[in-house]
Amino acid sequence: MNKKELNRYRNRLLQIRERLTGAIGRMSEIVLTDDQPPEEHDRKVSENSEKELVLEHDEETIRRQVMEALDRLDRGMFGTCQNCSGPIGRERLDAMPFTPYCVGCEQKFEVT
């Protein structure tokens, strides 16, 4: 992969990280401000808070993967599968630049 392509992926990863960081902060604020007094339990608010927490966890997981992908870029390992050491296809990287695995390894993980 040439320097121009690597810079394009770096910029995309940085944009994703920035977006996720903002989204996680907003979700945390929503969860914190939706609290009800103990005597006024509202099931809908509780369910919404639980959904927000799940989404926040998912977003944080992706943010962590983005940070790891940026680290791989810095170490010259970007685009290499972390399981089999084979190349990760460009189409996959274009769709999910933070992915640590090639399609074949990802499919193996999903089956098990």
CATH number for the domain that contains residue 43: 1.20.120.910
pTM of the model: 0.72
> Would you call 23 exposed, middle or buried from its count of C-beta atoms within 10 A (0-12, 13-18, 19+)?
middle
Rounded to whole angstroms, the Cα distance separating 97 from 39 reads: 47
Q: What is the pLDDT of residue 37?
A: 47
Q: Write the pLDDT tens digit of every residue in 30-81.
A: 555 555 445 544 544 455 556 655 565 688 899 999 999 999 999 999 999 9
* Structural domain count of the chain: 1
**Would you list the DSSP string of 42-62?**
-HHHHHHHHHHHHHHHHHHHH
CA dihedral 45, 50, 51, 57 (to 10 degrees): 140
Rounded to whole angstroms, the Cα distance separating 36 from 54 reads: 19
Give the residue carrying structure tokens 């993980």. Answer: 109
- Range of the structural domain that residue 71 is part of: 3-111
Q: Write the pLDDT tens digit of every residue in 82-97.
A: 999 999 999 999 999 9
